A = this chain, B = another copy of it.
Amino acid sequence: MKKHNHAALLIIDMINDFNFTYGNTLAAKTLEIATNIYSLKQKCTKEKIPVIYINDHYNLWKADLEKILSFCQNDKNNEILQRIKPTDRDYFLIKPKHSAFYGTALHTLLQQLNVDTLLLAGIAGNICVLFTANDAYMREYSLIVPENCIASVDNEDNLYAIRMMKNVMDAKIFTYQENTIMSTLFPS
């Protein structure tokens, strides 16, 4: 019945202090995808696809972006944040748990933006991204996953999560490139 799909780009947990086991490993991998996500974000902005950051709040609760940034900022994420820090144009929501839908206004925001398709980017691929994907799937969003915009501590886990999003949640998997034409990705 619907003619056009309306997508949004979800950027998950990229503001991260990496203060956990294997945090350095994940920080290194996150730096690699940060460039891709930044480019994808630019393209989305150009094509009027809304960009939504959704992020752990580091138990600050009353937290806002500046407080989370000042809590998180350190040597490990300095370069990442330079590339991927939210601007005033981006939406910014906090989440208290793994999934971006649990205990957040994400679904309401997406409804108001008339969005039915989600581009998923961020970390960790096998935890917060995967469980966000499943919650999105249960709410009947279509999923598009740029595989080079997702990272996990372990590469096998990352591949496994991507395979799962493909097989279990009907996600369309693609490799993002600067010349990707976003509209070709959307389900018809």
Contact = CB atoms under 8 A, between A and B. Distances in A.
A66 interface: yes
Interface in A104-162: 104-109, 111, 114, 126-127, 131, 134-135, 137-138, 140, 160
Given A98-B134, A111-B140, A86 B62 contact: yes
B92 A103 contact: no
Contact of A134 (B63, B99, B104, B108): B99
B66 A64 contact: yes
Contacts of A168: 98, 126-127
A179 to B, nearest CB: 30
Interface-centre pick from A61, A65, A104, A160 (highest chain B CB count, 10 A): A61
A86 B63 CA distance: 13
For the complex formed by this chain, how many copies does it contain in all? Answer: 4
A103 B97 contact: no
A102 B138 contact: yes
Interface residues of A, number: 42
Given A62-B65, A134-B131, A96 B108 contact: yes
B108 A90 contact: no
A21 to B, nearest CB: 10
A93 B61 contact: yes
A47 to B, nearest CB: 18
A134 B168 CA distance: 16
Given A62-B65, A62-B92, A86-B62, A108 B97 contact: yes
B138 A97 contact: yes
B61 A64 contact: no
14 contacts: A62-B91, A62-B93, A97-B108, A98-B134, A98-B137, A98-B168, A99-B138, A102-B135, A102-B138, A103-B106, A103-B138, A104-B104, A127-B168, A131-B134
